[in-house]
Structures are given as C-alpha cells and as structure tokens.
C-alpha cells in the first residue's frame, strides 16, 4: 500500500498578501497546515491579523506585517520585510485587492477611482513580483522549483464587468502578467500561475451577496448556484505551489462554479 498523497510545503517560506481575512486568511491557514512558514500582509485589521498569527504558531511561523499596498515601492518593502524576518522566500501569493462595490458608469468614473484601483490591484503587484523574483533568483538552487508565484485575479478579468471597468482592467492585467512571467521565468524554475475566482462569500462581497435582488441575479449565472467558500479558493492556490502542479505554468485556473462558461 502506498501512503496517502499529501500537499506538503514543508521547508518552504511563503508571503501571502491580504492575509488577515477572506481568501487570504484561508490561504494562510492552509499553507501553515501544509508545513510552510508564512508571512502575510494586512492593512488595518490588526486584531484579526494578530489572532491569526497566534492561532497558527506565532510570528516565527506565521508573521503578520502591516503594510499598505498601493505603489511598487510598497510591494518591494513588503518582500524585504519578509526576507529580513524569515530569511528566504519561495512562494508569493498576490491576493490583496480592492473592488469598489458601487456601480460606476465609465462616463462618470473619476480619474481618482480609476487610479486608486489600478494602484492597489496592479502597481503594487509589480513591486511584489519584481522583488520576489529577484530574491528567488538570488537563493541557492535546490532539487525542486526555485519558486512559485500565484496571482489572484477574477472572472471579471476574462469577461469584463459592467460598471466596474477599473476593477476588470486591473485584474485583466494580472492574466497577461501571469503569461508573461511564465514565458520569462519557467525555464529558470520559477512557476507563475493565476487563480481566477468568481463570487466568493467574504466580508468584501457580503453587502452585495446579502442584497436579495443582486444576489439572485449573480447566483443565477453560476451553474453550481452558490458563491464559493474561501477554502475552495485557497485549495487551488495551495495545489499550484506543490509538486503535483509541477508541469503547470502560465495557466489561468478558473474557480467559479462554471460561471465563465455561461455568463
């Protein structure tokens, strides 16, 4: 009898952005359960971040770092803080982001809203990826992959989202970034993939999903008829960073209950 397969990240160090709640917190938990040391960023949810760190072994194993992410420099600073504290970086999960929940027609969308959304969702991602790749390339090569990068996008990146052009554009850029990074880095042992969720039950989406009219319309476009649980997004993120995904690079992993096919 062979032993049961395990999704292990033992000996690996990961940085997960937006890790204090929602998809990020679920991913932090799963990565720690898989044996990784994890640093995660948060912006304002200090109590939640500290509680999560305590739950998962304290700062030597699960390190919360308070860091705004709105510029390339912010991303670079976060990577530097992670490496300074934990000594290395093998996995980067770019999960943070903003979705302005109000409908905003493009004809009246302010340049401030457009710029803010792209700054948080895209500009900081550039700084994170740039610094993480440099760190991964500087570390001694081992028998496995040199590193993994997982960008968290959205179904809106693929089919657009009316009245949310800023969000869709920022997440669409992450799809192209995934493919570009894979083409550039796969041969060096750095894998880059993207997870694209649909509707997920989180604090960010709660107001929308709790609105009966909007929720009914949104769920009608999901063949499975419900939003995802955060663990159902964290699981694919974990998988893409394990040896079982050793021949996957540059892929957009749709996790949306079939919604992209019918929306």
Choose, from 41, 131, 154, 182, the residue flagged as catalytic: 154
- What is the 8-class DSSP label of residue 229? P
217 is catalytic: no
Q: CA dihedral in degrees (158, 123, 23, 166; nearest 10)?
A: -50
Cα-trace Rg, the chain? 18
154 is catalytic: yes
List beta partners, residue 94.
151
Which residue is associated with the tokens 């957009």? 252
Choose, from 167, 170, 182, 249, the residue flagged as catalytic: 167
Which residue is associated with the tokens 């995660």? 40
Instruction: For residues 44 and 138, give the distance between their C-alpha atoms in angstroms, rounded to a whole number.
Output: 32
Contacts of 80 (CB under 8 A, 6+ apart): 131
Choose, from 41, 42, 171, 249, the residue flagged as catalytic: 171
CA atoms within 13 A on the CB side of 22: 22
> CB–CB of 198/155 below 8 Å?
yes
171 is catalytic: yes
Q: CA dihedral in degrees (181, 137, 147, 194; nearest 10)?
A: -20
Among positive and negative, which fits the CA dihedral 40, 42, 45, 50? positive
| C-alpha closest to that of 145 among 28, 7, 12, 5 | 12
Tell me which residues are annotated as active site: 154, 167, 171
């Amino acid at each position: 009898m062979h032993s049961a397969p395990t999704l292990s990240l033992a000996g690996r160090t990961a940085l997960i952005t937006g890790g204090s709640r929602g998809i990020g917190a679920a991913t932090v938990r799963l990565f720690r359960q898989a044996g990784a040391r994890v640093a995660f960023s948060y912006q304002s949810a200090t109590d939640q971040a500290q509680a999560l760190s305590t739950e998962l072994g304290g700062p030597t194993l699960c390190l919360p770092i308070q860091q705004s992410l709105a510029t390339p420099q912010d991303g670079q600073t976060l990577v530097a803080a992670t490496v300074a504290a934990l000594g290395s970086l093998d996995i980067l999960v770019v999960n943070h982001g903003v979705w302005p929940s109000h409908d905003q027609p493009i004809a009246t969308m302010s340049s401030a809203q457009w710029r803010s959304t792209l700054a948080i969702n895209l500009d900081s991602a550039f700084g994170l990826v740039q610094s993480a790749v440099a760190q991964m390339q500087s570390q001694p090569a081992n028998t496995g992959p040199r590193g993994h990068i997982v960008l968290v996008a959205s179904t809106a990146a693929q089919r657009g989202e009316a009245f949310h052009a800023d969000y869709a554009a920022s997440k669409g850029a992450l799809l192209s970034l995934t493919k570009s990074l894979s083409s550039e880095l796969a041969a060096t042992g750095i894998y880059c993939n993207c997870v694209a969720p649909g509707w997920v039950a989180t604090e960010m989406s709660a107001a929308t999903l709790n609105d009966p009219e909007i929720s009914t319309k949104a769920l009608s476009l999901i063949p499975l008829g419900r939003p995802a649980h955060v663990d159902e997004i964290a699981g694919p993120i974990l998988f893409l960073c394990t040896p079982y995904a050793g021949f996957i690079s540059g892929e957009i992993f749709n996790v949306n209950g079939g919604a992209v096919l019918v929306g």
